[in-house]
């Protein structure tokens, strides 16, 4: 993964179906670019930061897209987190299968939901039905980013 690869969320792309790693528009002055980013989002989400945070989630535990976004200082960036996880170049070392939806349902996975479910079962996680994690509140892990101090 290229160093410094970032995703910005702004008004022009917040509701689009496709988020792209893009810099702020070049026609804005540097002062406005910084202000625009900090007003609309709390923090830029970097791929590397997401992947580092994922590696802190222990086997047998799950976290949510929102938990990752909160830990990275941008609580409204759950969808961006999902997009980043969908591009995970190494799902074996970076365990994105441990991320579920806020209601305990599995959500998506780059290799299919059945593979995600099997990986979680191997880690000791059980399911209430086909797609909902059993004892979700008890096995939920709240990651902490060493760069961003956030209370859960």
83-104, pLDDT tens digit by residue?
A: 999 999 888 789 999 999 999 9
Q: Yes or no: say if 144 and 150 are a contact pair by the CB < 8 Å rule.
A: yes
**Among all residues, which ones are annotated catalytic?**
96
Q: Domains, the chain, ranges and CATH?
A: 29-139 (1.10.10.10)
Closest CA to 56 of 74, 71, 40: 71
CA distance 62 to 68: 11
**How far lies 92's CA from each of 27, 28, 96, 97, in Å?**
41, 40, 9, 9
Residue 35 has which token pair? 């202000």
CA distance 149 to 127: 32
Look at residue 131 in the predicted model and tell me its pLDDT. 92
Query: pLDDT tens digits, residue range 38-76?
Result: 334 456 889 999 999 999 999 999 999 999 999 999 999
Query: pLDDT tens digits, residue range 101-142?
Result: 999 999 989 899 999 999 999 999 999 988 999 999 999 999
**What 3-state DSSP class applies to 140?**
strand
More confident residue, 99 or 148: 99
Q: CB-based contacts of 122: which residues, under 8 Å, 6+ apart?
A: none
Look at residue 8 in the predicted model and tell me its pLDDT. 53
CA distance 94 to 5: 17
């Amino acid at each position: 993964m290229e160093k410094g690869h970032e995703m910005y969320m702004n008004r022009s792309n917040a509701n689009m179906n496709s988020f792209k790693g893009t810099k702020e528009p070049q026609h804005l002055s540097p002062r406005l670019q910084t202000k625009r980013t900090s007003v609309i989002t709390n923090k830029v989400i970097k791929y590397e930061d997401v992947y580092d945070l994922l590696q802190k989630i222990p086997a047998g535990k799950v976290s949510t897209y929102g938990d990752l976004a909160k830990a990275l200082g941008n609580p409204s960036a759950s969808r961006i987190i999902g997009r980043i996880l969908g591009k995970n170049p190494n799902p074996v070392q970076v365990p994105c299968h441990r991320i579920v939806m806020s209601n305990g349902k599995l959500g998506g996975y780059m290799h299919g939901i059945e593979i995600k479910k099997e990986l979680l079962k191997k880690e000791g996680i059980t399911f209430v039905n086909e797609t909902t994690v059993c004892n979700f509140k008890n096995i939920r892990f709240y990651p902490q980013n060493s760069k961003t101090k956030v209370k859960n």
